[in-house]
């Protein structure tokens, strides 16, 4: 997620004073999730079980990762924006590394650096090609074996793509965007809900880690895991629904606040993806795996096209389909390379031409790599 400077996006403009409808929509989402969780019959228990899975399988690992990263950033006072500016010869590899970092903040920083004239266009292509966005958190938590392949591969593809663009692209897309970059709204002191989220995430992480080791824990400290997970889930939904931010946080805020805010944002998409998949399978009577197997040859192409959609929600859904064995690894790697996550929002806001061209450029390696796996190693990591 965000590392030093957050770019003004349409959502950030809303966070700076026009938040009435924005917060109302979020509160409606919270109420819908609550209604689904307490619904009678089969719907309620299924929803509560899925929310528990989303929390202990993904959210707590996201929280731990972000807290570790932001804590280190605070302790060592590291400003990645300045590092990019001072590393001209290594901008493309650094940009690709920023993109490979789980979340969207690294790619956002590179996009901002391009618009301010600190990096070249190849760095933008490298970071947008390498990034998997928030879907990387889901993959790390549920299929670390696949993540161990896809993240380094995306990193290498990002570097090669960026170098090729710097070598052959002679068109300047940079526009005058002076004053376009602004700091995200400052939350200030660490709030009680931030500390509460941390206290709930800590035992949740123990449960999630135990599950990775094939150990089932039903209660922790005498509290049923279901209650713990639902408390953490709905606290996160509350933080998200009342937040003045879109997804990114101000680097001046405390690591605990940033962890709570950004984990809550990611968790909403993860919960939505979990519910969408199981609802279709349970209540829609749809055999998703059978339906997709009938169109197997075009699945990588479909996943690549989904990657063009701004935001992390559709990409989290693609990762969820892979984790559930519905789509092959070839489709996942195609989506991972083509998708830009939340970084596409500031890219469009600051420089639409650069954003569109960079996204189209990323489609070329996505097609090559995805269909390379599909044709040469169809069963790989499935």
In sign, the C-alpha dihedral spanning 235, 69, 141, 290 is positive
What pLDDT is stored for residue 14 in this prediction? 38
What pLDDT is stored for residue 288 in this prediction? 62
Give the whole-angstrom CA distance, residue 62 versus residue 201: 10
Find the mean pLDDT for residues 266-293. Answer: 78
Give the whole-angstrom CA distance, residue 260 versus residue 201: 10
What is the crossing angle of helices 144-168 and 121-130, to 10°?
A: 160
Give the whole-angstrom CA distance, residue 263 versus residue 250: 14
Q: Which of 304, 314, 308, 358 is nearest to 334 (CA)?
A: 304
Phi, psi of 219 (to 5 degrees): -135, 150
Residues with Cβ < 8 Å from 20, sequence gap 6 or more? none
Task: Tell me which range, 56-65, 178-187, 330-339, 350-359, is most confidently predicted by mean pLDDT.
Answer: 330-339
Share of the chain above pLDDT 90, in %: 33
**What band does 9 get if pLDDT is binned at 50, 70 and 90?**
very low
CB count within 10 Å of CB 87 equals: 13
Give the whole-angstrom CA distance, residue 221 versus residue 55: 18
Residues with Cβ < 8 Å from 229, sequence gap 6 or more? 51, 52, 55, 56, 204, 207
Give the whole-angstrom CA distance, residue 335 versus residue 305: 8
Find the mean pLDDT for residues 253-259. Answer: 91
**First-to-last C-alpha distance (Å) of the chain:** 29
Tens of pLDDT, residues 161-179: 999 998 888 777 765 444 4
Helix residue ranges per DSSP H, the chain: 10-15, 20-37, 43-54, 60-76, 80-85, 91-100, 105-115, 121-130, 135-142, 144-168, 192-212, 225-241, 255-282, 288-293, 299-307, 313-323, 329-338, 344-350, 352-376
Give the whole-angstrom CA distance, residue 59 versus residue 85: 33
Radius of gyration for the alpha carbons in the chain, expressed in angstroms and rounded = 20
Tens of pLDDT, residues 76-109: 776 665 667 677 778 899 889 988 988 766 777 7
Cα angle 107, 319, 290; round to 5: 150
Phi, psi of 328 (to 5 degrees): -80, 170
> What average pLDDT does the chain have?
82
Find the mean pLDDT for residues 285-293. Answer: 68
Tens of pLDDT, residues 179-217: 444 456 788 889 999 999 999 999 999 998 887 677 888
Running DSSP on this structure, what letter comes out for residue 56? I
CB burial class (10 A; 0-12, 13-18, 19+) of residue 298? Answer: exposed
Given a cut of 50, is residue 233 above it in pLDDT? yes
Give the whole-angstrom CA distance, residue 322 versus residue 142: 10
Residue 335 tokens, joined:
């989506």
Least confident residue range of 174-178, 221-225, 308-312, 343-347: 174-178
- Contacts from 207-212 at CB under 8 Å and sequence distance 24+? 207/56, 207/60, 208/56, 208/57, 208/60, 208/61, 208/141, 211/56, 211/57, 212/144
Find the mean pLDDT for residues 155-163. Answer: 95
Instruction: Report the SS3 class of residue 273.
Output: helix
What pLDDT is stored for residue 39 in this prediction? 93
Tens of pLDDT, residues 27-72: 999 999 999 999 998 999 999 999 998 898 888 888 887 788 788 7
Cα angle 263, 265, 269; round to 5: 110
Give the whole-angstrom CA distance, residue 264 versus residue 243: 10
Give the whole-angstrom CA distance, residue 99 versus residue 96: 5
Given a cut of 60, is residue 1 above it in pLDDT? no
């Amino acid at each position: 997620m965000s590392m030093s400077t957050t770019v003004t996006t349409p959502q950030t403009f809303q966070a700076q004073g026009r938040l009435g409808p924005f917060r109302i929509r979020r509160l409606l989402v919270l109420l819908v999730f609550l209604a689904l969780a307490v619904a009678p019959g089969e719907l309620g228990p299924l929803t509560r079980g899925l929310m528990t899975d989303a929390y202990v399988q993904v959210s707590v690992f996201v929280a731990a990762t972000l807290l570790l990263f932001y804590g280190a950033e605070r302790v060592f006072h590291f400003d990645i924006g300045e590092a990019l500016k001072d590393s001209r010869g290594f901008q493309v590899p650094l940009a690709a590394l920023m993109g490979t970092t789980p979340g969207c903040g690294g790619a956002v920083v590179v996009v901002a650096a391009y618009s301010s004239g600190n990096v070249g266009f190849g760095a933008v292509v490298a970071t947008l090609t390498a990034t998997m966005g928030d879907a990387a958190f889901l993959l790390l938590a549920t299929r670390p074996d696949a993540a161990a392949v896809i993240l380094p591969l995306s990193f290498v593809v990002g570097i090669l793509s960026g170098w090729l663009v710097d070598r052959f692209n002679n068109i300047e897309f940079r526009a005058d965007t002076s004053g376009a970059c602004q700091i995200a709204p400052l939350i200030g002191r660490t709030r009680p809900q931030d500390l509460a989220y941390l206290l709930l995430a800590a035992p949740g992480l123990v449960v999630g880690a135990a599950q990775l080791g094939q150990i089932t824990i039903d209660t922790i400290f005498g509290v049923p895991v279901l209650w713990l997970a639902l408390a953490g889930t709905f606290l996160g939904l509350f933080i998200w629904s009342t937040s003045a931010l879109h997804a990114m946080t101000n680097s001046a805020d405390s690591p605990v606040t940033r962890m709570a805010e950004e984990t809550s944002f990611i968790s909403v998409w993860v919960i939505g993806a979990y519910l969408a998949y199981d609802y279709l399978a349970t209540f829609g009577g749809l055999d998703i795996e059978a339906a997709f197997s009938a169109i197997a040859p075009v699945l990588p192409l479909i996943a690549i096209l989904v990657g063009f959609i701004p935001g992390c929600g559709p990409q989290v859904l693609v990762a969820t389909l892979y984790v559930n064995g519905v789509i092959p690894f070839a489709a996942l790697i195609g989506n991972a390379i083509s998708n830009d996550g939340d970084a596409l929002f500031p890219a469009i806001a600051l420089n639409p031409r650069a954003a569109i061209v960079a996204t189209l450029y990323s489609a070329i390696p996505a097609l090559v790599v995805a269909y390379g796996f599909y044709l040469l190693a169809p069963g790989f990591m499935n």
